[in-house]
Amino acid sequence: MQQMAGIKEPKPLFTQGEMAFIKSLAETRQERSVYMGYAHLAEWITINFNAAIFQLQLFTGAIMELDTIISKVMREEGLKRFLTPEDKERLYPWLHKMGLDYMGIQSETEFYEQYSIMMNRINAAKKYIRMYDTAIDLLTKAADVKEMELYKIRSSYIGNPRNETITGALNAINTDIDALRIMVCDREEYQDPYHRDIIEKYLQHIDIEAEPVPERNIRAVRDMLPLLKIFTTEANMGLIMATLEQDYWRK
C-alpha cells in the first residue's frame, strides 16, 4: 500500500520481531484487551479493504463494458445514416448478428437492459468505495493512526496509471455520449416515447466520483466511535459500515 501511495522506500509498520515483542508484553487483562483491539481493527481493515478492491474491479470492468456498448451503438448509427430504406431492411438481420442494433427496430430491450446493468454496477461500486474511504478517514482520526490512510482506495490510485486509464475511458465514453445524442436527438424514428426515454434517461455523462456520504451518517459514526472503544475487544466494527450506508449505498 505504501508503494501504491508513492512512497519510494516502503517498509512494514512493524517487523515480525516487533510484533512478537508487542504480543509478549500483553500480560494483564487490560493489556491483552488492548492488543486484541488492534488485532480486531486490523481484521476489519483487511476484510473491508478486500471488499473495496473487489468493488474497484467491478467498477473498472463495468466502465470497459459500457464503452463497448456505446461503441456498438455509435457504429450502428453511423451505418444507418447512410443506408437507404431498402438497404436497412436487407442489412438489419446482419446488424442484429453483429450486436449493432441496440437502438434499432430489431431489439428494443438490449440497450436498455445492458446499459442499466453496467450503470447500476458503476454507481454501486463507486458508492461503496466512497463509503469505505469515509470509514477509513473517520477511523484514522479517531484512532490517531495516520498510517491507516494508506488503505484508502482513492488516495492509493491518485497518480496511478490504472486510475488514469479509468479516467481516460470515462472521458471517451462521455465524448461518445455527446456525439450520439447529437446524432439521434432530432431523428424522426427516435421521437417516440420509448426512444426518448432511453435518450433522456441513459445518454447522460458519467461521473467517476460518487456523491459524498450524507453528513448525518458521518456524524452518527463519529459519535459512535468513542463508545465502540476501538482498541478493546468490546468494539463492534461492523456498525461503522452499516451506519454509513444508511439510505446511501444501494439507493
**Taking residues 164-186, what's their average pLDDT?**
87
pLDDT at 104 over 70: no
Per-residue model confidence (pLDDT) at position 174: 92
Per-residue model confidence (pLDDT) at position 68: 83
pLDDT (tens digit, 9 = 90+) per residue, 66-83? 888 888 788 777 777 777
The cell numbers describing 79, all together, are 451505418
Q: Which residue has the higher pLDDT, 106 or 120?
A: 120
Q: What percent of the chain has pLDDT over 90?
A: 21
Per-residue model confidence (pLDDT) at position 122: 92
**Taking residues 162-168, what's their average pLDDT?**
80
Per-residue model confidence (pLDDT) at position 22: 66
Per-residue model confidence (pLDDT) at position 50: 93
- Tell me the pTM: 0.76
The cell numbers describing 144, all together, are 490517531
Per-residue model confidence (pLDDT) at position 105: 40
